Amino acid sequence: MSLAGVSCLVTGAGGFLGQRIVRLLLEEKEALAEIRLLDKAFSEEALGEFGKFQGKTEVKILEGDIRDVTFLHRACQGTSLVIHTASIIDTLGLIEKQLLWEVNVTGTQLLLEACVRYNIQHFIYTSTIEVTGPNCKGDPIFNGDEDTAYESMSKFPYAQSKRLAEDFVLKADGQVLKDGGTLMTCALRSMYIFGEGCPFLLGHLDKCLLNRNVYLRFSRKEALVNPVYVGNIAWAHVQAARALQDPQKAKHIRGQFYYISDDTPHMSYADLNYELTRDLGFGIEPQLPMPLTMLYYFSLLLEIVSFLLRPFVRYIPSTNRHLVTLLNTPFTFSYRKARNDFGYVPRYTWEEAKQSTGVLSSSTCHSPDSQT
């Protein structure tokens, strides 16, 4: 099934993943009628990328806040598909919990309400592996799937906000639209995303340059995860969108969540950064700066200091117990169900993803702004 003639709204369209989804939609052989790009602000670089496509698909840029009901209703009216990637990502506790909730949870609820009001039949939500875990005990998962039992006990605000938003999306499936139609929803739980323009990789690259071109080891080698290339998670969104247009496929994926990974080799987060840029001559430290248990309690100490200073100054530690557990727990998942239910197959190989990411890293580390 194609997306020919579909009018699609992409939230978070100016972001790392959103831009890639839009690019793939614009490259569709059978043109969509319209793509509306919603974000709070767009960089000049993003607008330039969108401007390169001079196809039959009409592109509308919508700058505004997802919490603004009037703006949201105007953005939704007349569309038939929503791909909702917009959210605040926060692994360090930098963002006030109220703001995190307003954008990630309330923003999603408002968007679902607008879908019912304006008869938008198809809704795809970008979720995250952190909805599952790892939990605070660091229980590992090896090659898990959607049926894997796991006790998720994370109280970290970002993970909680995404879990609650995903619940709202999946429970909204089957709601009756204003015109009598039916809302169909699904959620894609992405692994950690890497690729060209990845803000987390660029952040670690800057620290590497300051450390004489040697990456700091922030996760032990045994903590295997399976990150996903940005082009492949974007492709999964396009394939899910196509499947929702097909009545036979739609009945299998409605109200379901899917783990989206690809064929990136299983490795730790620290080793991923190293593998993506090793051809540029970078090294990596052989072990953690201190034993894992000590690192965990050192992070607890920093959290206590932050709490004690809160009445006087806002101190955000460089690490916390949640982050230490997240980065040092083996946590891998299969994309088998997504392949079986809606035909997801990675579009880009590991070598292609590695080469594309490395090219960007090369240009970054040789730019004037990153010289040490």
CB atoms near residue 199 (< 10 Å):
9
Which three-class secondary structure state does DSSP give residue 104? helix
Q: Which of 118, 125, 158, 215 is catalytic?
A: 158
158 is a catalytic site residue: yes
- Contacts made by residues 265-269, CB under 8 angstroms, sequence distance 24+: 265/350, 266/224, 266/225, 266/226, 266/332, 267/224, 267/225, 268/219, 268/220, 268/221, 268/222, 268/223, 268/224, 268/225, 268/327, 268/328, 269/192, 269/218, 269/219, 269/223, 269/225, 269/227, 269/327
Backbone angles phi, psi at 79, to 5 degrees: -100, 165
Instruction: Enter the tokens of residue 113.
Output: 């309400």
C-alpha–C-alpha distance, residues 274 and 276, integer Å: 5
What is the enclosing helix (H) or strand (E) of 110?
helix 107-117
| Amino acid at the residue 348 | Y
Q: Which residues are catalytic?
A: 158
